[in-house]
Each structure stands twice: as C-alpha cells, then as structure tokens.
A and B are shown apart, each in its own frame.
Chain A
Amino acid sequence: MNTQDPSNVAEHQDMQALLPWYAAGSLVDGEAARVQQHLRDCPECRAELAWQRRLIETAAPLPAGLDPERALARLMPRLDEAPSPLAQPVAKPSPVVPAPSRFASALLDWLRGPGDWKGWAIAAQALVIVVLAANMLPAGTPPDYKALGSAPAATPDVLVVFKPDASVQDVQRLLKTSGAHLVGGPTATGAWLLDVEAAQRASVLAALRADPAVEMAEALAAEGRQ
C-alpha cells in the first residue's frame, strides 16, 4: 500500500475498520469485495485479519452448570405474574377485580421494577437457595409448567425477601415449619413467592417477619381477609 497517498490512507483505515466483520463473514457482498481487494495490497491488514481469525477460533465453550430446562421451569410461573398483554383482555372479558388483587399486582409491579445491584446480588445468592428448596418438593410432582391447560398453577399469596446472609438451612427450616411452598421468584428485586394455606396466612406472615433470616414478608392479598 502506498501510505503517502492520503486517499490510500483513508481507504486503509476504512477497510481496517471493516476487518472484524470480514473475518466473521458478516459483510455484505460489495463491502467484502472491497476488503478483499484491499487485502491483496496490504500486508498489515492481512496480518490483522489472521490475528482476528485466531481470536474468533478461540471462542470459549459455554460455562459448565447451565441448565436450560431448570431455568425455564423457574421462569414459567413468572409468566403468570405478568400475562402477555394481548392475551390479557381476551382471557379476562370483564371480571370485577377485587381490591386484594389490585394490591397484589401493584406490589408485584413494584417488585419487578428496575433491579438494583442489591436486588441482583440477593437474587444470585438466593438462586442457590431455591434450587435446594425445590429439591424438597414431593418427589414425582411434575413441574407446574408441564401442566399447561390441565390445572392452574399454585397462586402465590405471600412474598418474602431473605436477608443476603440467610443460609440454605434458614430457608429450609422456614419452609418446613411454615408449611409454605415456593411457587415463584426471584423477582428482579430478589423476592420469592410462596403459596400458603389461607387459614395459616396470618401466622405464617408473623413467623416470617419475626425470623432473623427474613428481610421482608408481605401478603399478596389483604391480610385481614380469609
């Protein structure tokens, strides 16, 4: 390449900027032909191209421990929290929405709000907890997401946020003694959704709130009802 010629310099810079996409094979034909033409006369760009191709070849494998089905099973109950906008008006012609549901959806909206670092830290930590907690479910119970259209999933009626330093044992103990079932979560703010017998809701809430491992526990329906 003649680097004395300003137009050649500009062309060289333009072509060099396109090399990553040339190397990856995603340039449109016209641009690819231009780069190819330039490469014939430019050893610097040829060396750069070789370097970039090696980078592409060193793509690391996906990390161990990923499990799409486990992640999907965790996500499916969250679809119930927020029905598809189009499906909503079709599925619900005009039911009278009771006050507790409005409260619940407002609370859920708030919990689904923009996550902050703390929420994510808790969510990441609590993930380990829920995987272990999920193992406590009765054996042979199919995941909710496979029962599409056959039976409604458990309805969450209590949400709980565990303290960042809560241990797996804490959560196991709480679920065991309260008789509550984990049915969803974490939300963006790290809250978990529990299904609790209506008759025991007040006492479970009180126990959760009194527990040192619990940051917050709230009813998703009005506490005075049922």
Chain B
Amino acid sequence: MRFGRRAGVTGDVDDGELVRLVGGGDRLAFQALYRAYFPRLARFLDRMTRNVPLLEEVVNDTMLVVWQKASSYDGSSKVSTWIFGIAYRQALKALRGLDEPLEDAPDVAGEEWHEPEHALAALQLQRGVGRALDALPLEQRAVVCLTYYHGMAYQEIAETIGCPVNTVKTRMFHARLRLKDMLSDHLEEIR
C-alpha cells in the first residue's frame, strides 16, 4: 500500500504531500493522514474534552474539515499547525455551552487534589497533574498542553489558536500560577 508508514512518523514534508492528495479527493491519502494524526489529536483533545466518545467525535469533525478544506490549504503554515488549529476550534465549538471553565472562570480550590496516602506516588502525581490541568480554563489548558505535550513553539501556538504571541505567554503565565496553587500538595514530589 502506498501509505504504509507507521502512524506518527510522517514528517511535515510528507504531511504536505498527503494534504495535497487529500485536496484532490484521494481517500487512501486521507486515511493515511487520519492514522498519522489520530494519536496526536487524541492526546491534545483528551485534555480538552475528558471524554473518550466525545474525543473521537471531535477528532472526526476535525478530520472532516481537513477533508473539506484540504484543497484550499496553501502551505503558509505547517500542516500540524493547520490541523491543530482546526481541532482547537472544533473542541471549543463542542464544549462551549457545557460546564467547561472558560477564560474568566473563578479559581478552583486546591483541596480536592488529595489521594489516599498509600497510593503509588507516581500515579498520584500523574493524576493530580491531570486533574489540575483539567481544572484550567479551556484556553489556558490548550496552551499548556500544546507547549508541554506537543513541543509547539509559542509562535506556532499563537498561529494554531489564532491569537497574538503575547496572549499565549499571558495564558501560560496564569496557567502556571494556577497549576502551582492546585498542585501545592504535590510540590514536594515535583521538586
């Protein structure tokens, strides 16, 4: 099969070629692009949606837009930036109106991050961090996730979510303060 590469190893050069083929209506290319991006989008959207069925639906809605818009992709941004930008907007669309905390939501108190003391420390820490991330407003969570878990530069994040570079830095700054506050119980483990 032409697109028999392992998912996740396609570089952006290959991605660009795939998107060009998808723009021409090539379904095999679309399936290859889908398989390459599913794990990355799932990791990003897992933090955004916290719900497996919804996560898969947002991945699908994202990739449907990719299918529909591939012919107008002009290569001015990286393929990953373009696709993550679509995913971000699809996640916002899906989650607005749910009880997701948004940018100006009040602070979440930190007292609920306790786990039984005998729990495995690593797992406890992981879960604590996961829950702290989940408690961040959506916009901050997206910036943290793209920075820490997708290795995106701040300029790329600004492009992905469609905001100025300084907004990315500001969101990250506030997110760090909140994370520190919420993870104060775990601070000793983290240090």
Query: Residues on A close to B: CB < 8 A?
Result: 17-18, 20-21, 23-28, 47, 50-52, 54-56, 58-60, 62-68, 70-72, 74-76, 78-79, 82-87, 90-91, 114-117, 120, 123-124, 127-128, 145, 148, 186, 188
Contact = CB atoms under 8 A, between A and B. Distances in A.
Given A71-B38, A86-B70, 19 more contacts: A21-B147, A21-B154, A24-B147, A24-B151, A25-B151, A59-B149, A60-B46, A62-B42, A62-B46, A63-B46, A67-B56, A68-B42, A72-B38, A79-B30, A84-B68, A85-B71, A114-B93, A124-B51, A188-B61
A82 B55 CA distance: 21
Contacts of B35: 68, 72
A87 B97 CA distance: 35
Interface in B166-191: 169, 172-173, 176, 179-180, 187, 190-191
Contacts of B180: 51
Interface stretch (B17-25, B76-84, B103-111): B17-25
Given A60-B126, A83-B25, A145-B31, A24 B148 contact: yes
A55 B153 contact: no
Given A60-B126, A86-B23, A86-B25, A124 B57 contact: yes
23 contacts: A26-B151, A27-B153, A51-B180, A54-B191, A55-B179, A58-B126, A59-B149, A60-B129, A60-B130, A70-B56, A71-B38, A71-B59, A74-B56, A75-B64, A84-B24, A85-B71, A86-B71, A115-B93, A115-B94, A120-B54, A120-B57, A124-B53, A145-B31
Contacts of A24: 147-148, 151
Nearest to B132: A55
Main secondary structure of the interface of A (DSSP, over half): helix
Interface of B: 7, 22-25, 27-28, 30-31, 34-35, 38-39, 42-43, 46, 51-57, 59-61, 63-64, 67-72, 93-94, 96-98, 125-127, 129-130, 144, 147-149, 151-154, 156, 169, 172-173, 176, 179-180, 187, 190-191
| Listed residue (A74, A114, A120) with the most chain B CB atoms within 10 angstroms of its CB | A120
Contacts of B71: 84-87
A219 B125 CA distance: 53
